[in-house]
Chain A
C-alpha cells in the first residue's frame, strides 16, 4: 500500500493562488465572457439554422437534428453533474445511473397515471383534469426529482463515503445495479405496483406553459410541448436552459468555499482533514449535489421520452457518462461539456451515421453501434494512457496527473 504523499510544491504562477486572487478581485475575463455569450447565442439559434447545415456537402449528413440535440444535452447535463463528484471531489462514482433512474421514476410517479387509485392535479398541462393518477406540473416534478435524488445520494453516501477510492467505486457500482433491479422488480412491492416492472411507466405528462400563459402570448409559448408543432425545439431550448443552469451552478460551486474543499480532498485527503475540512460533510455534499443534477436530467429526459423504462438504466450508462468526463478532462467544466456533446452525438446518431457511410461509400460492413461500448472503453483507455488530463485540462488537475501525486519510486520499479 503506497502512502499518499504531498503533491509537489505549489507554484506561484497560474496555480490556485493566482487564479484565486484574480477571482477575488472580481475581475472577469471579457474575452472569455464574449466567447461564452457567442456560444450560447449560437446554441439558442440552432433550431433555425441546422437545416442549412444539413445541406452542406460532406459534413451535412453528420449534423444532428434538434431531437438528437435534446438527448445530447441531457447526457451533457448528467456528465457535468457527475463531474462534481468525480472531477471536483475525486470520488469515483460508478453508479450514477441510479440517480438518473431515480429522477426518471420521480417524473413517472408524479406526472403519469401510474397511481390510478388517486387523482391529484397541480399545474398539469394538456391533459384532462378528470384523468386519474398524480399529475404535478413537470417544472415542479423536475425540482422534486432533484431533491429526491439528492436525498438518495445522501442515503447512499452516508454509510459508504468513509471508504476511500476504489472501495467507494465498487459500492456505488453496487447501488447502480441494485436500484435498476429494484425498478425492474418493483411491480409487486408487498402487493403494491410501484414501478410497473419491465414495462416501465408511460405516458408521462409533458412540460408546457399552461393555458393562461399560452393564451396571453397568443400561443407563442406552447400550452404543452408534446402537443406543440415545435415539440423538438421547445424541448431543445428547455434542455439548453437546464444545461446552462447546471454549468453555472457547477462553476460557481467550484469557486466556492465548498468547491475548494472538494479539490483539497481530491488532492490529499489527510492534509485536507488536518486543515480542518470536515471530510464526511464535504464529501456528502459533493455526492448530494452531483446527484441533484442527475435527478433533474432524469426527470426531464423521462418527460421528453414520455416514459420511464427499466431497460434504459444499466451499468453501461454510468460508464458512458464517466467516459464523457474523462474524455473532456476531469474537473474541467468546459472539457466535460465538450466530451458530453461529442460522445452524446456519437451515441445518438454519430456512430450509426458513420456505419451507414462506411457501408455506402467504402463498402465496409462494420456496424459501430454494435461495438459502441468497446469504442468508449477504447477512448477511456487511450485518454488515460496518453492524455490523462482530457481534451481541455483543468489547470490544477493537469499538474496532479502529469507529475503524479506520489514520490518517484526508487530504482526504477516503474518504467
Chain B
C-alpha cells in the first residue's frame, strides 16, 4: 500500500490520513456515529436481547463471510463481479439437502457420531462438487471473454446467474428445502441471559478452520503465491512461468468450495430455495465491497458487520426499521461505501474509485 512518505499510517487509512477531512468524509463519519449511538442506546435499553441478536449476527456474518470470500477471490484475480456466485451457493445448499436426506438418509434419530460424520462427509462432497461446477462456469462463460471489454464478462455473469438459478428451479422447483434439525437449537452454553445455541456454534466451528485453511493456502503455498501474482499482473506472471489459466481455475475452485460450505451452513439454520442465492449473494457482495473488494480479511470483516447490521435491524426494538427495509439498508450501505470510501474498509485505492 503506497502510503505517502512521512505520514504515519492512521487507523482510518485514507479517510483521515494526514489531510483535512472533506465534507464527504464528515458526512460518512456522522452516519457511522449515528449508527453507533443507536446501537449503544439499544444495548442499554435491552441488554439481553442485544446479546442474543449479537450471536445471531455473528452466525449470519460467518455464512456471509464464506460467500463474500468467493466474490472477493474472483474479483481480486479477474476484476469480475461473479454474479453467478450467489446462485452457485443456493444450488449447493439444495444439492446438500438432497444429499443429506436421500443419499445419506440422515435424520435426528441417528447417533451423534454418525450425524457429525455425515455432515463432514457432506461438506467434503459438496465442496468438491461445487469447486468443479465453478471451474466449469469459468471455463464455459468467462474464459473466452478475458480480453473483451470489461463489461462483457460482467454481462455474461448476470446471464450465468439466471441460468444457474433456473437449473435449481428445474431440479428443485419452487418449494423451500430444509434438513431436519440435526443440531439442537438448545443453548450450548449461556452467559447471563445470552445463549449460544448449538447450531450457531456449529457454524462457527466449521467457519473458523475453513478461514484458517484459506488464509494458509493463499499466503503460504506456491499456488497461493501464484494467485497473488496473477492478481497483480497476468502478463508478468505468465512471463515468470506461472500457468495463468490454471491459477484462475484454482481460484474459481476455491470460491466454489467456499460457496458449497456456506450453502451447507445456511441449510443447517434456515430453509432455502432456488432464489435464496440472489439476495444472499447481493448481501455477500456488499460485504466484500464494504471490507475492500479483493481483500480477504476485509471480506470477513465486512460480512460480520453486515451480519450484525442485518440482525440488529431485524431484531432490535428501539427505532429499528425492521426486516421490510433490510434490502434497502444493505444497499444503502453499499452505495454509501462506494460514495464515501470506494476502496472499502481495508482495501487499497483502485482506479475504480476514481
Report which A residues bind B (CB closer than 8 A).
1-2, 90, 92, 94, 159-160, 162-167, 169-171, 173-175, 177-178, 181-182, 184-185, 315, 319, 322-323, 326, 370-371, 373-381, 384-385, 388, 400-401, 404-406, 408-415
- List, in ascending order, chain B residues with CB within 8 A of A163's CB: 338, 342, 352-354
- B238 interfacial contact with A, CB 8 Å: yes
- B45 interfacial contact with A, CB 8 Å: no
**Chain A interface secondary structure, helix, strand, loop or mixed?**
helix
Size of B's binding interface in residues, CB under 8 A: 55
* Complex CA distance for A400 and B152, rounded to whole angstroms: 12
- List, in ascending order, chain A residues with CB within 8 A of B234's CB: 2, 409, 413
- List, in ascending order, chain A residues with CB within 8 A of B331's CB: 173-175, 177-178
Contact between chains at B147 and A408 (CB < 8 Å): yes
- List, in ascending order, chain B residues with CB within 8 A of A376's CB: 159, 162
A252 → B minimal CB distance (Å) = 25
A277 → B minimal CB distance (Å) = 16
Find A326's partner among B80, B155, B170 (CB 8 Å cutoff): B155
Find B155's partner among A92, A162, A174 (CB 8 Å cutoff): A92
A-B residue pairs, 7 tightest by C-beta: A374-B166, A377-B162, A380-B159, A174-B331, A381-B159, A377-B159, A414-B146
- List, in ascending order, chain A residues with CB within 8 A of B20's CB: none
Contact between chains at B327 and A388 (CB < 8 Å): no
Contact between chains at B163 and A374 (CB < 8 Å): yes
* Complex CA distance for A94 and B155, rounded to whole angstroms: 10
* Complex CA distance for A385 and B160, rounded to whole angstroms: 12
- List, in ascending order, chain A residues with CB within 8 A of B354's CB: 162-164
Contact between chains at B145 and A373 (CB < 8 Å): no
Contact between chains at A178 and B332 (CB < 8 Å): yes
Contact between chains at B339 and A160 (CB < 8 Å): yes
Find A170's partner among B143, B150, B151, B334 (CB 8 Å cutoff): B334
- List, in ascending order, chain B residues with CB within 8 A of A167's CB: 338, 342, 352-353
Which residues of B132-149 are within 8 A (CB) of A? 141, 143-149
Query: How many residue pairs at the A-B interface have CB separations less than 8 Å?
Result: 165
* Complex CA distance for A171 and B354, rounded to whole angstroms: 15
A95 (CB) vs chain B CBs: closest residue: B331
- B48 interfacial contact with A, CB 8 Å: no
- List, in ascending order, chain B residues with CB within 8 A of A90's CB: 151
Find B327's partner among A159, A166, A181 (CB 8 Å cutoff): A181
* Complex CA distance for A181 and B332, rounded to whole angstroms: 12
Contact between chains at A384 and B149 (CB < 8 Å): no
With A159-B339, A405-B149 known, 8 other A-B pairs at CB within 8 A are A2-B79, A166-B81, A322-B155, A374-B165, A377-B158, A384-B159, A414-B146, A415-B146
Contact between chains at B152 and A322 (CB < 8 Å): no
Find A94's partner among B158, B245, B327, B332 (CB 8 Å cutoff): B158
* Complex CA distance for A376 and B158, rounded to whole angstroms: 10
A92 (CB) vs chain B CBs: closest residue: B151
- List, in ascending order, chain B residues with CB within 8 A of A165's CB: 150-151, 154, 352
A329 → B minimal CB distance (Å) = 13
* Complex CA distance for A401 and B155, rounded to whole angstroms: 13
- List, in ascending order, chain A residues with CB within 8 A of B153's CB: 384
* Complex CA distance for A410 and B240, rounded to whole angstroms: 12
* Complex CA distance for A84 and B339, rounded to whole angstroms: 24
A79 → B minimal CB distance (Å) = 15
- List, in ascending order, chain A residues with CB within 8 A of B352's CB: 163-167
* Complex CA distance for A400 and B289, rounded to whole angstroms: 30
* Complex CA distance for A171 and B156, rounded to whole angstroms: 18
A184 (CB) vs chain B CBs: closest residue: B324
Contact between chains at B163 and A401 (CB < 8 Å): no
B162 (CB) vs chain A CBs: closest residue: A377
25 A-B interface contacts by CB (under 8 A): A90-B151, A92-B151, A163-B352, A167-B353, A169-B81, A169-B154, A170-B285, A173-B282, A174-B331, A177-B327, A178-B331, A181-B327, A370-B169, A377-B158, A377-B160, A377-B163, A377-B165, A380-B159, A384-B153, A388-B148, A401-B148, A404-B149, A410-B239, A413-B244, A413-B245
